[in-house]
Amino acid sequence: MAKPDILVIGGGVTGTITAITLAEAGAKVTLVDAGVNAGSDANAGSLHVQMQSRFMRLYPDQVPNVEAALPFYRAAAEEWVKLDAALGGVELVRKGGLMLAETADQLAFLEKKAAREAAKGLSVELLDRVSLDRIAPWLGPQIVGAELCRDEGKLNPLLANRLLKRRAEAAGVTRLTDRVTQLRMTSHDVEIDTPDATLHADQVVIAAAWGSGDLVNAFSVTLPTRAEPLHMNITEPGAPVINHLVQHAERSITLKQFSSGQIVIGGGWPATSQGSHAPPTVRHDSMLQNVALAARLAPAISSLKVIRTWAGMNTTIDGASVIGPLPYTKRIIMAIPGDAGYTLGPLVGRMAAQIAMDAPTDFDAGPFSPARFAN
């Protein structure tokens, strides 16, 4: 293989966007993806913008970083809107996201949260039950109100991933299925080991989500990337009635209906990891509790059948994304969304490409510098 200008590690939405951006700007790009079933193209298609109650509960120490990055989430959703147009349609629907409250306490929590989010420029509004009935008449009787975040939405990830892959091919990106095990600096480039080969590139972009931490250990950076195996349920198709991305003020759930008519239920229920190189397996308690919760919030869906489940990987770090060159090794550039990787991926990927080209970034990358993890 001829030596590429830039080698991108990770073929998920982030790495693919990086590769497309660079290749379309004229660079010779190779993209290496390990082809692990759980990652890369195992996505659920939610566009998250408001602070997820699940995340706030599980990782309270990371909340300040998430809150600071709210404008970044909003910009990332905008980036998807542009991408939807550029790719010719990925069934993106941006009717907003509803975070439901079942008690007065939960509604009070949402009210405070909404105020914090409005201060960061998000388009949010608190809805009472009467207003909710107009836009979501399928909700259970116990729902007292909700926060509506108009920036949120959903899209068809299978379609988007397929179109992105075509776009990368059209841009001349070379794609390899292999697992990068180690990176080394030489005097003039980066050396990349895989089990089968040693590759060279002038620059490397690491968009390997939870696998990124291990790759940069050798460069005096301790990146706490953590894989979070998550569970998803998919129903048979029904008439289109659920327009919003639905979440809950206290409990873990996302619920949305795709244009296929199918309802996707997930939102952070754990799956069982089978190690970094195999897809996680489904836990019965996650399936039962996740779906049961959905049935209580939206009783109308209870006649539909769940036809499949799957588990994929979310990646968490410290609440903020990691974008930019390594502190002492400028040839290696990180591109890792801090959470909600599919939402942030296009913007993170694009910014990483801009950094690699020494171009100004669409969004201030300062707060996302890997320097914060330097030993």
Contact letters for other proteins, residues 156-175 (x by CB under 8 A): --x--xx--x----------
| Shortest spacing between CB 86 and other proteins, in angstroms | 19
φ/ψ (deg, to 5) at 366: -45, -50
From candidates 53, 62, 106, 235, binder to other proteins by CB under 8 A: 235
| Shortest spacing between CB 229 and other proteins, in angstroms | 14
Is position 261 an interface residue for other proteins (rule: CB under 8 A)?
A: yes
How many residues touch other proteins (CB under 8 A)?
Answer: 43
Is position 194 an interface residue for other proteins (rule: CB under 8 A)?
A: no
Is position 129 an interface residue for other proteins (rule: CB under 8 A)?
A: no
Is position 309 an interface residue for other proteins (rule: CB under 8 A)?
A: yes
User: Of 34 and 320, which has the nearer Cβ to other proteins?
Assistant: 34
Helix segments in 60-123, DSSP class H: 63-68, 70-87, 104-119
CA distance 225 to 373: 11
From candidates 71, 299, 327, 367, binder to other proteins by CB under 8 A: 299
Please give the structure tokens belonging to residue 97. 């996201």
Please give the structure tokens belonging to residue 364. 């201030």
Cβ atoms 202, 5 nearer than 8 A: yes
CA distance 117 to 149: 9
Contact letters for other proteins, residues 67-86 (x by CB under 8 A): --------------------
CB neighbours of residue 191 within 10 Å: 14
Of residues 272, 289, 292, 288, the one with CA closest to residue 280? 272
Of residues 33, 7, 375, 324, the one with CA closest to residue 189? 7
From candidates 186, 187, 303, 375, binder to other proteins by CB under 8 A: 303
Cβ atoms 238, 222 nearer than 8 A: no
Interface with other proteins (CB under 8 A): 35, 37, 41-42, 140, 158, 161-162, 165, 177, 234-241, 260-261, 279, 282, 284, 287-289, 291-292, 294-296, 299-310
